[in-house]
């Protein structure tokens, strides 16, 4: 895979540039939207859940930002990645190139946006009185892990989207439901132990919780927590690459 990626390095770089330019084409603020969009959502949720619902929590802005940051990365990466094959059918039906290049380029573009927002997140942490420790380095694990998880889910979705166009509508509904199940704006501490364990079945929640553990609590998640995240990443990557390998030639007949 990496050998083919290097062989088609020029195409890959051009795809990333194209995706990045297309996203902000004809916009006044351009790349700034990658920061303003999550910030506006953060401010709205902060206003609603603190003033209207009377929710009080230490470092609640940072708590919210952790959830929004991680979930937005997942949502944008998988949603855009879903159509990566179909939107580039005009290329791979004429030129023999690895089809996963198109998904990879989408993920890189979204990852760049995530990186910009991450810098703003750290600024918010400083303003919110968060103490920065060496443990922040461990955030590399959920960041890289989520990037790989998004890639795996994107492989699955983009393959399914070629054969079943309805998947885009089903995924939109699922992501909306998943958002409410990821404890972005509420805490699960008041729930029973059994209920709290059910949240661990949500892979996205695991990444959100990891961020909060490091940033807000200043603690390192347990070894089994790391292994559970790794298991989710491995499963979706294996399933995604197998689907691409199995349907590599079929894609040409359905696009």
**pLDDT of the residue at 37:** 64
Closest C-alpha among 47, 42, 62 to residue 217 = 62
**pLDDT of the residue at 242:** 92
Cα–Cα dist 131/135, whole Å: 10
Domain range spanning residue 197?
2-254
Token pair in block for residue 46? 């902060």
Block means of pLDDT (10 residues each) for the chain, 255 residues, are 58 62 57 62 64 64 90 92 79 70 85 88 88 95 97 93 89 93 88 91 96 95 96 96 84 68
- Compute how many other C-beta atoms are within 10 angstroms of the C-beta atom of residue 31: 14
**pLDDT of the residue at 18:** 64
- Compute how many other C-beta atoms are within 10 angstroms of the C-beta atom of residue 245: 10
Closest C-alpha among 158, 19, 17, 171 to residue 81 = 158
Closest C-alpha among 110, 216, 99 to residue 161 = 99
Residues 90 and 61 sit within 8 Å (Cβ to Cβ):
no
Token pair in block for residue 16? 């990333």
Cα–Cα dist 160/15, whole Å: 22
**pLDDT of the residue at 48:** 60
**pLDDT of the residue at 208:** 97
Cα–Cα dist 219/233, whole Å: 22
Q: Considering its fold, how many domains does the chain have in total?
A: 1
**pLDDT of the residue at 54:** 44
């Amino acid at each position: 895979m990496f050998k083919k990626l290097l062989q088609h390095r020029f195409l890959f770089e051009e795809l990333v540039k194209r995706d990045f330019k297309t996203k902000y084409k004809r916009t006044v603020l351009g790349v700034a939207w990658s920061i303003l969009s999550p910030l506006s959502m953060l401010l709205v949720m902060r206003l609603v859940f603190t003033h209207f619902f009377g929710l009080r929590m230490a470092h609640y802005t940072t708590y919210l930002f952790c959830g929004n940051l991680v979930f937005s990365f997942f949502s944008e990466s998988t949603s855009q990645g879903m159509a990566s094959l179909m939107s580039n059918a005009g290329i791979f039906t004429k030129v023999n190139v690895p089809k996963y290049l198109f998904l990879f380029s989408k993920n890189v573009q979204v990852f760049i946006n995530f990186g910009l927002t991450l810098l703003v997140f750290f600024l918010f942490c400083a303003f919110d009185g968060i103490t920065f420790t060496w443990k922040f380095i461990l955030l590399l694990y959920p960041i890289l892990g989520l990037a790989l998880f998004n890639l795996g889910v994107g492989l699955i979705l983009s393959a399914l989207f070629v054969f079943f166009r309805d998947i885009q509508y089903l995924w939109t509904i699922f992501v909306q439901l998943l958002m409410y199940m990821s404890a972005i704006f509420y805490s699960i501490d008041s729930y029973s132990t059994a209920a709290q364990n059910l949240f661990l079945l949500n892979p996205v929640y695991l990444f959100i919780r990891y961020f909060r553990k490091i940033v807000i609590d200043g603690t390192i998640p347990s070894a089994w927590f790391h292994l559970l995240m790794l298991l989710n990443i491995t499963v979706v990557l294996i399933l995604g690459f197998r689907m691409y390998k199995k349907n590599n030639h079929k894609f040409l007949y359905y696009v």
